[in-house]
Chain A
Amino acid sequence: MKPRTALLLLLPALAINLVAFLAPMANLASYAFHGVSPSGAILPGLSLGTWAALFDDSFYAELILTSVLTSLGVTALTLLLAYPLALFVHRAGPRTKNLLMVACLSPLLISAVVRTYGWLVILGDHGVIYSVMHALGVEHPPKMVFNQTGVIIGLVQILMPYMILSLLAGFGRLDPAFEEAAASLGAPPWTVLRRVVLPLSLPGILLGFLLVFVLTVSSFITPKLLGGGRVFLLATEIYDQAIVTLNWPLAAALSLVTLAIFGVTLGLYGRLARAMEQA
């Protein structure tokens, strides 16, 4: 194909991206550098007031740190739960494999909102888990909803399909013959896992980590509902600032911070992925 034809074919996508992505992003960035009146009106004239407030108030530093740490925790937990599952699916015969894939991905057919409400019912004060623990004689079962625990449980379950998909996509180099070879050379099962299976599945782990981390940081409905307004994360705070407090500049500034976090994550991912390819 001639370069000109190629350019021509790229134009529609380029136009859509310009109008629907780049322009709003520019707009968002400009909000962050304007002041705001108590009524929510954006004031004319550039100002760094929002950023000053953001850096002054330790609440925001803490918010960003909590968000990143919670997301890392959720991602790690998802990985821990999804890894054995993905390994099992990867090793299954072709027919079983298809069936297991459908089973793993079917939660995606139900909206995250519905699933979150499901968790509210299960984890709630008169939910299944509470009742069972109570019946077993636990006087005061731990609260599992409207706090960090609830948010983490909900997010892990909702994001697991993405992790499983990424892991499976990255398991390409994992041939059972490698495990057999390692065993024949005298490696017990745990050593096989540590020295052969884990290193060979690193591309999948990395991909899953990136995807689930980004999805956790930007997830909003689950933390909002399961956090019950008591768990403060970047996405929920942006929503509150934009919709409740009507402080669009602050919401925009926090959005840019989130974007920066994604940028750093992607950069790290790229570097690690490249290092792995050369290894």
Chain B
Amino acid sequence: MTETTTAVPAPRAVPAAAPTGEDTGPAGGSDPQTPTAPELLTPEEAARALTDAPVRLTRGFLGLDPVTQNTALLARHIGDREIQVLRYGEALLGYTVNPLQPRQAHVATTSADPAPLDALLGFLADYQRATSFVAEVPEGTPVLPALESCGFTPCGVLPGHLFHSGRYREVLVLHTDREG
């Protein structure tokens, strides 16, 4: 740990080289500079950031839907569920602790680059003592490669869980362990 913010400890070092030619975040793949530190967003800031990001990356972000939920409702859900949203470079990262199993966190990312998510998992393992991680993503999501690169494996499919673009869609449930 070389740098910290006042809000949260900095995740462990992130590889500087991001995959080329891929969508690395809300801005749609512009120059992915290595961020120096994550920025923890307030619920209102997180709601606006999710609303402004491309919907293909944010629908289903920890169960949120910036298309059908306005920023006020998003902020309320983020606050009620104690969701933490961080901006890390051009990626938005989110997590919330399972209240029935505090060593498990539900996580989400808007980046197809695995580095920001890997940094988040490292932070949660090192500072929150999380050992188990769950992600739920809509079918066809561009962020699936990032999850798979971080070791997530499928553990189920929720049929018809999400409606968008004229039809009901499946949601994939993925899980990984990271022992401390």
* Pairing of A with B: no
